[in-house]
Structure 1
Amino acid sequence: MTFKTKFTISLFAIVLSFASCNTEDVAEQNTDALSKNQTASPSTSKVGVCSEVPGWASQNGGTTGGGTSSETTVTNYSQLKSAIENSSVKVIKVTGTITVSARLSLQDQTGKTIYGTSGAKLVSTNQTKDGSGILSVKRCKNLIIRNLVFEGPGAYDTDGWDNAILDDCQNVWVDHCEFRDGVDGNFDIKNKSDYITVSYTKFTYLKAPRAGGSGGSDDHRYSNLIGSSDGATADRGKLRITFARCWWASGCKERMPRVRFGKVHIINSYFNSSVSNKCIAAGFEANIRVENNVFENVKNPIDLMTGLTAVTVTSGNVFTNTSGNKAGKNTAFTPPYTVVPLSTSAIKSDITANAGATFSGNICGSF
């Protein structure tokens, strides 16, 4: 064998060695949050891997949104309305603060991404029954909504609209958003919606509630409703929703979330609203898995309502300075997917640092 050949083989071996080390380093970073006895499965989402969506939105063919389609940048209401209503626009880039003068409607579309650059906000100041709300999404499939702040004018019970609502939608991933100060609620999911994941998202009320609304509640800081009524029986077998690494923060009073019918997985999330009456509420035929969350300074972390199916509260949940019920009832479903778990000691610091519109843009892969 010639010296040149030997040198080439040696050099190739060194390159392979470095590649192996780098691969191990990356794998180590991606599994950093795993507990010592757990490993990530191939279907588990990782940082930077857009095709590996966490939770229920990874099922039923997955969720990709607008993918790598060309972006349409919007900086005002008329541009945003036009882009949302145009089914040919697949990726919308929101820049700056946009005042929503009339509720936006996204209907009957498939494959779309709406995301914000750093600091992007959609703001509504309307507290009327018909004019409130920021975004209504109906009969849509394969959507991604990321890195946006949805800011309402504050809770005022006029039987108005939420900051955002999903109605009869499938495969939606809401990631790194913040929903604050909704009139009726912050973000509701209803009417046969299915395969939904909400990750690294913050829910809060920063403005004092306004009393005297026609809806009857003087303090309607009720954040998230899953399923609209006990009579909405078409929701049976639907409303499969994951809340992963979310934060129910200051000002939330109830519905964190309040569930009917759905198979809802709440994992590695943080609850610390000191004004809470109740946090997770299991309503009619609700099937909820409450896994490794932190409840701090809240009342009634788990509210077991009449007619629930099952609530499993795993041993990994932490309750600090809480009062009221902390136990489940019956045995809830087992998810068909894997979410990379945070260690319990890391949940609070991770969520408070990363939940909300903390990205600089459309960065894929939350976990």
Structure 2
Amino acid sequence: MNFKTKLTIFLFTIILGFSSCNTDDVASEQNAENAVLSATENVSTSRVGVCSEVPGWASQNGGTTGGGTSAETAVTTYAQLKAAIENTSVKVVKVSGTITIPSGGRISFQDQTGKTIYGTSGAKLVSNDQTKANSGIIYVKRCKNIIIRNLIFEGPGAYDTDGWDNATLDDCQNVWVDHCESRDGVDGNFDVKNKSDYITFSYTKFSYLKTPKAGGSGGTDDHRFSNLIGSSDSATADRGTFRITFARCWWAPGCRERMPRVRFGKVHIINCYFNSTVSNKCIAAGFEANIRVEKNSFENVKTPIDLMTGLTAVSAIDNLFSGTSGNQVGKNTAFTPPYTIVTLDKSAVKADVSAGAGATFAGNTCGSF
């Protein structure tokens, strides 16, 4: 078999692997809970609710299946969205259109197991509040087996008031965040804290498009700090948790720091793309961080790897650096993942991730990772 024939077969296999399995308003906001229940529809037999290709740490500890093939509830308004997320009986939430989170209306998603929240093409959750008390879009606490896919989270821009992130995982286990975009969070874009474990972010894009607001009470005039893992060096209960994978994610223009900043945990950053020219530092290895930085592409950024403390283990393996300055190497030896993951060559990362990261799906589609 010649090279051209082999290449043709390979490309055809990739196309088949990414073929989708489709997913497919009711009531008024005055009775949102009833609207949620009446909006529940039978799942199309063509929709595959359990995606077998969940990559990275979220595939461990029994795996992550979310709401599986449960009936889905369609939402188009804030009241419907809030009611559906807070209703433990609703297992799959389908979001359409742009939904604005009112000031102080941050959604509290707590104490649930087995749920999928996904967006149709262009679905967006927007917050316009920059205050400490009333900012943020969603706070996920003590939840297990959760999938969040194909959603755009848009905040009002960075402002150091010790406010809220666009989204936060707090003491959650087995969460898969896939093909999402989080941008312009007040405090951060998407943080992970308090013993959260077995988390995967895949094909997710982080950016800041809005000018940061100076003069916040926290003292940082440019707080475009995207992703924080672990809230404090003194939070020693976090030891042994924070097993997190970032696979084919994109820290895009506007990000300044925390891409991510890590305390504790075993964090695998593989096949990700960093190209924010305003960066001060990218991956930050904080207190007792254990980070495997593998086959990523760093382009025109400062300090790709910041070795913040002496109590870290960072393995920097076969990464690509172009136009960067600052540290590129690791220190000590980080963990070896217990899972296997389909891996791109570092030279292919930029094209693949810049084309595929973000809310680029039509809905809750499955395809080979």
Work out whether residues 53 and 365 of structure 1, in 8 Å CA contact, stay in contact via their aligned partners in 2. Answer: no
- Identity among equivalent positions (%) equals 79
The RMSD of aligned alpha carbons is: 2.0
Shift of 1:51: 2.3
Q: Which whole-Å deviations, capped at 9, do the CAs of 1:53-102 have from their partners, x for residues lacking one? A: 10000000000000000010000000000001000000000000000111
Secondary structure at the residue paired with 1:349?
helix
Q: Which residue of 2 aligns with 1:318?
A: 320
Shift of 1:32: 9.4
Shift of 1:366: 5.5
Q: Which residue of 1 aligns with 2:292?
A: 289
Unaligned runs of 5+ in 2: 1-8, 19-47
Q: 2:210 aligns with which of 207, 218, 221?
A: 207
Secondary structure at the residue paired with 1:348?
helix
Secondary structure at the residue paired with 1:162?
coil
2:76 is aligned with 1:75: yes
Q: Which whole-Å deviations, capped at 9, do the CAs of 1:147-205 have from their partners, x for residues lacking one? A: 00000000001100000000000000000000000000000001000000000000000
Amino acid at match of 2:284: A
Work out whether residues 114 and 146 of structure 1, in 8 Å CA contact, stay in contact via their aligned partners in 2. Answer: yes
Shift of 1:48: 10
Tell me, in whole angstroms, the C-alpha distance in 2 between the residues paired with 1:305 and 1:345: 28
Q: Which residue of 2 aligns with 1:124?
A: 127
Tell me, in whole angstroms, the C-alpha distance in 2 between the residues paired with 1:27 and 1:111: 34
Amino acid at match of 2:93: I
Q: How does 1:192-203 map to 2 (within 5 A)?
A: 192-203=195-206
Shift of 1:249: 0.3
Q: Which whole-Å deviations, capped at 9, do the CAs of 1:256-284 have from their partners, x for residues lacking one? A: 00000010000000000000000000000
Q: 2:347 aligns with which of 345, 348, 352?
A: 345
Tell me, in whole angstroms, the C-alpha distance in 1 between the residues paired with 2:195 and 2:50: 29
Tell me, in whole angstroms, the C-alpha distance in 2 between the residues paired with 1:116 and 1:180: 16
Change (3 A) 1:49 1:88: closer
Q: Which residue of 1 aligns with 2:29?
A: none
Q: Which whole-Å deviations, capped at 9, do the CAs of 1:20-48 have from their partners, x for residues lacking one? A: xxxx8799438999xxxxxxxxxxxxx99
Q: How does 1:1-367 map to 2 (within 5 A)?
A: 28-29=13-14, 50-101=51-102, 102-314=105-317, 316-365=318-367, 367=369
Secondary structure at the residue paired with 1:61?
coil
Secondary structure at the residue paired with 1:161?
coil
Amino acid at match of 2:106: R
TM-score by length of 1: 0.87
Change (3 A) 1:332 1:272: same
Secondary structure at the residue paired with 2:117?
strand
Tell me, in whole angstroms, the C-alpha distance in 1 between the residues paired with 2:212 and 2:241: 32
Work out whether residues 282 and 308 of structure 1, in 8 Å CA contact, stay in contact via their aligned partners in 2. Answer: no
Unaligned runs of 5+ in 1: 1-23, 34-46
Q: Which residue of 1 aligns with 2:22?
A: none
Amino acid at match of 1:70: A
Change (3 A) 1:154 1:50: same
Shift of 1:306: 1.3
| Count of aligned residue pairs for this structure pair | 331
Larger Cα-atom Rg? 1
Shift of 1:49: 7.4
Tell me, in whole angstroms, the C-alpha distance in 1 between the residues paired with 2:16 and 2:91: 32
Secondary structure at the residue paired with 1:105?
strand
Work out whether residues 63 and 172 of structure 1, in 8 Å CA contact, stay in contact via their aligned partners in 2. Answer: yes
Work out whether residues 178 and 202 of structure 2, in 8 Å CA contact, stay in contact via their aligned partners in 1. Answer: yes
Work out whether residues 173 and 197 of structure 1, in 8 Å CA contact, stay in contact via their aligned partners in 2. Answer: yes
Amino acid at match of 1:50: C
Tell me, in whole angstroms, the C-alpha distance in 2 between the residues paired with 1:94 and 1:111: 17
Amino acid at match of 1:341: T
| Runs of 4+ off more than 2 Å | 24-33
TM-score by length of 2: 0.87
Work out whether residues 72 and 93 of structure 1, in 8 Å CA contact, stay in contact via their aligned partners in 2. Answer: yes
Shift of 1:346: 1.4
Work out whether residues 179 and 360 of structure 2, in 8 Å CA contact, stay in contact via their aligned partners in 1. Answer: yes
Tell me, in whole angstroms, the C-alpha distance in 2 between the residues paired with 1:27 and 1:170: 36
Q: Which whole-Å deviations, capped at 9, do the CAs of 1:99-127 have from their partners, x for residues lacking one? A: 01110010000000000000000000000
Tell me, in whole angstroms, the C-alpha distance in 1 between the residues paired with 2:338 and 2:12: 23
Change (3 A) 1:323 1:31: farther
Secondary structure at the residue paired with 1:312?
strand
More divergent stretch after superposition (357-366 vs 218-227): 357-366
Change (3 A) 1:31 1:192: farther
Tell me, in whole angstroms, the C-alpha distance in 2 between the residues paired with 1:32 and 1:308: 42
